[in-house]
Structures are given as structure tokens and as C-alpha cells.
């Protein structure tokens, strides 16, 4: 209980003055009434409640899928939300999930709605919060959780397939490079001494390998430092400097294979978000706000921002997507679905078609990349072997002359 001399912490959810975004924060107050007064000055008050001890951690896509799929099953099975959260906390499997579940139980048990509780934790993205809020309004909370589970299942599956397609060649290449470096550092010095003792004339390719091995032996730490610092600097620029980020993403999209690996997941993320928002009855502009938020590629964020501007100005949704230079199949699907009054079904078909095509592409890519990885390893090893055995041709006459 709050005392006159002690201020407690309270969490709040308000709608900002622009009317289309919520804000979450923490304030100090002697009691809940003072907390409501302070929060009301920030925006239109939606929720104020006492803050639980500790901080709720951010959740990754695997955790979000775990939450959505389990809550969907429990709510459909007749559990109330508090019972569902209690069961979820007990079977979470890791401390992070249990911690978030505890925070949700704390907020819901004090009268917060499920969507406000999700937002108060700060652990869930806007897509998760807004779809649940829409499900609460329409009385279809279990359907909202089901849509979210389907969304995160699709994203996990895509990332898993992309990782599988690129993992084998990446591992083979790294192991080959490490093996060659180890050979040059530990074996090559002995062979160099042998070449020198026989007075063999070393060709340019052999000298290059020897000098490279000498560099690895004496200055490897500089190489490591340059690689690490270069990576950190590049990541900082790409993450925080918008012009650099856009330039980097345009370069990625310019390469057919890399571009498709980046573009198709974005279109699936876009279509899945739009369909979930439409099914749960969200307004078009709010759906576009959510879609822009879940995009990982800045080029696609810019496209959705342009679509939103055009829609607000009165342009039909499909025409706005066309003007934003998106996938022709997507905007044609939206046009057909809007005209027929079944946009959710049209987007579901688009998702199925795109997923099927992308799965075939990944299968083909995996089959094609493996031989190229082996060719790369063969060329690398062959280059080292040839460079080391060329001096042998000069050594053979010397060896024969000593017999």
C-alpha cells in the first residue's frame, strides 16, 4: 500500500496526441490517482497500474510463437486468460518466458486488459499487441492468437529454410579456409627451409604463398583487429545511418539470388500482416502502420510508407501498391480481393503461392550451391598444392646430381 512519504512506480499506456500511436512508460506517484493525473498529461489514458518488480525482457520470434500458439490452444480449450498464463509460465521452458508470463499475470490480475498487459510489459511488438487488442474488441481472442501463431510459424519456417540452404556451403568454405591457414602456418615453414637448403628457385606463386604464411605467423592479430573493427564499423553505419542502410540494401537487392532471399520473406511478412489485420477488423491505415513496423528491409519500409500516404490521400489500396512498385502479383491480388469482398482469401492464396515458389527456389539453390562449394574448396587446395610443388621441379636435378 502506498504511503504519504513514499512514491511507487506505475506503468501506463496512453494514446499520443496524433491519435494513431500508443505510448508506454513508467512514472512515480504516491497513489494510482496521482499516477492517472500525471499519465493523462502525456496523452489519452488507456491503462495505469502498479509496476511489478524487475524488468520484462524482449522476446524473439521463437518466444512469440510459443506464446501465441500456446495461448491460442489454452483459450480455445476453455481456460480463462489468467489460467492460460499460469500454465504457460509453468511450461515456458526458460526463465525469459516465465518472467514475461509473470508480468502479464501481474497486470491482468489487477484489471488490465490482455492487450494493455502485453503493451505494459514492453516485451511484445506492435503487431502482437494490436491484433490481440482487435481480437478483444471483436470477441475473437483465440482467433487473434491463432493468426499470430501462424504468422510466427511462417517466419520461423522461412528462416530455417534459408539457413539450411546456406549453412552447408558456408561451413565447407570456412573449414577449408581454416585448414589452408593451419597448413601455411604449421607445415609451410618446414617446406620453405627445405627449398632454401636445396637452393631451389622459387616461382612467384610460391613466394606469394610463403609471404602470406609469414604474414599470418607474425601479424595475424592485425588481420583479426581489422576484420573485427571493420565489421563493427560497418554494422554501426548500416544500423544507424539511414542513407548507408538504404545503399547497402539496394546492393543486396541488385544480386538476383541474394535479392530473392531478401525480397520474398519481406513480401510474405507483408501479406501475412495485412491478412491478419484485415481478418481482425483493423482499419487500413493501422494495418499499414503495423506492416511497416514488421518490415526488416528499409526499402520495403519506404514502400509501405508511400502506400500509406497514397491511401490517406484517397487512392485505392491496390493502386497505391502498384504506384509503390511492389510485386505485380500482390497488387493484382489485392485488386481482385477488394473487388470480390474477400481480401483475406485472396491474400491467403498469394501467401500459399509465394511460399511454394520460394520453397522450390531454396531446394534448387541448395542443390546448385553444394557443387560450387566443393569447386571452391578444390580450387583453394589446388592453388596451395601447385604453389608448393612447383619448386620440386627445380629440386629434382639437384637431387639427381648428388647421387
Q: Over the stretch 380-395, which tens digit does the pLDDT of each residue have? A: 878 877 777 777 766 6
Q: Which residues contact 384 (CB under 8 A, 6 or more apart)?
A: 180, 183, 184, 209
Q: Could you report the per-residue pLDDT of 10-46, keeping only the tens digit for each?
A: 888 777 766 557 778 788 888 888 878 887 888 777 7
**Fold observed for domain 61-153:** Receptor-associated Protein (1.20.81)
Q: What is the mean pLDDT of residues 127-137?
A: 83
Cell 646430381, residue located = 401
Name the E strands within 179-232.
Answer: none
Q: What is the pLDDT of residue 399?
A: 56
Average pLDDT over residues 325-352: 91
Mean pLDDT lowest among 57-61, 157-161, 194-198, 285-289 = 194-198
Length of the chain: 403
Q: Judging by DSSP bridges, how do beta strands 8-15 and 22-29 pair with one another?
A: antiparallel
The whole-angstrom separation of Cα 365 and Cα 170 is 13
Specify the residue for cell string 515458389: 357
Q: Which three cell numbers stand for residue 276?
A: 491478419
CB atoms within 10 A of CB 201: 11
Stretch 239-263: mean pLDDT = 86
Expressed in angstroms, the distance from the first to the final Cα of the chain is 101
The tally of CA atoms less than 13 A away on the side-chain side of residue 105 is 16
pLDDT tens track for 203-248: 777 788 888 777 877 877 888 899 899 999 988 888 888 888 888 8
Beta bridge partners of 317: none
Q: For the whole model, what pTM was predicted?
A: 0.71
Cα distance between residue 352 and residue 344, in whole Å: 12
- In sequence order, which residues have a C-beta less than 8 Å from that of residue 287 and are 6 or more positions away? 273, 274, 277, 278
Tell me the average pLDDT across 63-86. 88
pLDDT over 80 at 375, yes or no: yes
Residue 255 is classified by DSSP as S
CATH 1.20.81.30 fits 157-403, yes or no: yes
- What is residue 332's predicted lDDT score, i.e. its pLDDT? 93
Tell me what percent of the residues of the chain surpass a pLDDT of 70. 93
Three cell numbers, residue 196? 632454401
Residue 344 C-alpha cell reads as 483475406
Average pLDDT over residues 195-207: 72
pLDDT for 17 equals: 64
- pLDDT at position 397: 61
Q: Is 26 helix (H, G, I), strand (E, B) or coil?
A: strand
CB 103 within 8 A of CB 113: no
Strand order in the sheet with 22-29: 22-29, 8-15, 44-50
- DSSP tag of 30: S
Res 76: pLDDT = 87
Q: Treating both helix axes as pointing N-terminal to C-terminal, what angle do 114-121 and 95-109 enclose, rounded to 10 degrees?
A: 130
Q: How confident is residue 93, by pLDDT bands cut at 50, 70 and 90?
A: low
DSSP 236: H
- How much is the pLDDT for 214? 79
Residue 101 confidence (pLDDT) above 60 = yes
Classify residue 80 by its DSSP letter: -
Instruction: Locate all alpha helices (DSSP H) within 28-140, ordered by sequence.
Output: 32-40, 61-76, 81-90, 95-109, 114-121, 126-138
Grid cell locating 210: 610463403
The pLDDT confidence band at residue 2, using thresholds 50, 70 and 90, is: very low
- How far is 4 from 30, CA to CA, in rounded Å? 6
Of 167 and 236, more confident: 236
| Per-residue pLDDT tens digits for 281-334 | 888 988 898 888 888 888 999 999 999 999 999 999 999 999 999 999 999 999
Indicate if the pLDDT at residue 77 is higher than 60. Answer: yes
User: Per residue, what are the HEC states of 10-37?
Assistant: EEEEEECCCCCCEEEEEEEECCHHHHHH
Mean pLDDT of 178-191: 77
CA distance 249 to 243: 10
Candidate from 61-75, 101-115, 192-206 with smallest mean pLDDT: 192-206
Domains of the chain, by residue range, sit at 8-50, 61-153, 157-403
Amino acid at each position: 500500500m502506498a504511503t504519504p512519504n513514499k512514491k511507487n512506480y506505475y506503468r501506463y499506456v496512453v494514446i499520443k496526441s496524433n491519435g494513431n500511436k500508443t505510448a508506454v512508460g513508467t512514472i512515480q506517484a504516491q497513489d494510482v490517482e496521482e499516477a492517472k493525473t500525471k499519465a493523462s498529461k502525456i496523452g489519452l489514458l488507456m491503462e495505469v497500474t502498479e509496476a511489478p518488480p524487475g524488468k520484462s525482457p524482449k522476446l524473439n520470434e521463437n518466444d512469440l510463437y510459443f506464446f501465441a500458439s500456446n495461448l491460442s490452444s489454452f483459450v480455445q480449450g476453455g481456460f480463462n486468460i489468467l489460467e492460460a498464463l499460469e500454465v504457460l509460465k509453468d511450461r515456458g521452458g526458460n526463465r525469459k518466458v516465465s518472467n514475461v508470463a509473470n508480468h502479464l499475470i501481474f497486470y491482468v490480475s489487477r484489471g488490465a486488459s490482455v492487450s494493455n498487459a502485453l503493451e505494459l510489459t514492453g516485451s511484445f511488438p506492435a503487431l502482437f499487441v494490436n491484433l490481440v487488442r482487435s481480437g478483444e474488441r471483436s470477441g475473437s481472442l483465440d482467433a487473434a492468437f491463432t493468426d499470430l501463431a501462424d504468422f510466427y510459424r511462417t517466419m520461423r519456417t522461412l528462416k530455417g529454410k534459408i539457413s539450411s540452404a546456406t549453412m552447408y556451403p558456408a561451413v565447407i568454405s570456412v573449414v577449408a579456409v581454416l585448414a589452408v591457414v593451419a597448413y601455411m602456418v604449421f607445415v609451410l615453414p618446414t617446406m620453405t627451409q627445405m627449398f632454401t637448403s636445396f637452393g631451389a628457385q622459387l616461382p612467384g606463386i610460391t613466394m606469394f604463398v610463403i609471404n602470406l604464411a609469414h604474414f599470418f605467423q607474425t601479424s595475424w592479430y592485425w588481420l583479426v583487429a581489422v576484420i573485427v573493427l571493420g565489421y563493427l564499423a560497418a554494422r554501426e553505419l548500416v544500423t544507424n545511418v539511414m542513407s548507408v542502410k538504404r545503399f547497402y540494401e539496394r546492393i543486396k537487392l541488385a544480386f538476383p539470388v541474394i535479392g530473392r532471399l531478401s525480397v520474398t520473406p519481406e513480401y510474405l511478412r507483408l501479406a501475412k500482416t495485412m491478412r491478419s489485420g484485415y481478418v481482425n477488423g483493423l482499419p487500413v491505415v493501422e494495418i499499414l502502420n503495423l506492416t511497416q513496423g514488421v518490415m526488416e528491409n528499409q526499402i520495403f519500409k519506404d514502400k509501405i510508407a508511400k502506400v500509406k500516404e497514397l491511401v490517406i490521400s484517397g487512392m485505392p489500396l491496390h493502386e497505391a501498391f502498384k504506384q509503390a512498385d511492389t510485386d505485380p502479383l500482390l497488387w493484382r491480388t489485392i485488386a481482385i480481393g477488394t473487388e470480390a469482398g474477400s481480401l483475406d482469401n485472396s491474400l491467403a492464396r498469394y501467401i500459399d503461392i509465394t511460399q511454394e515458389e520460394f520453397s522450390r527456389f531454396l531446394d534448387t539453390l541448395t542443390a546448385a550451391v553444394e557443387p560450387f562449394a566443393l569447386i571452391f574448396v578444390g580450387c583453394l587446395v589446388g592453388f596451395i598444392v601447385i604453389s608448393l610443388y612447383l619448386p620440386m621441379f627445380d629440386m629434382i636435378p639437384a637431387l639427381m646430381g648428388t647421387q
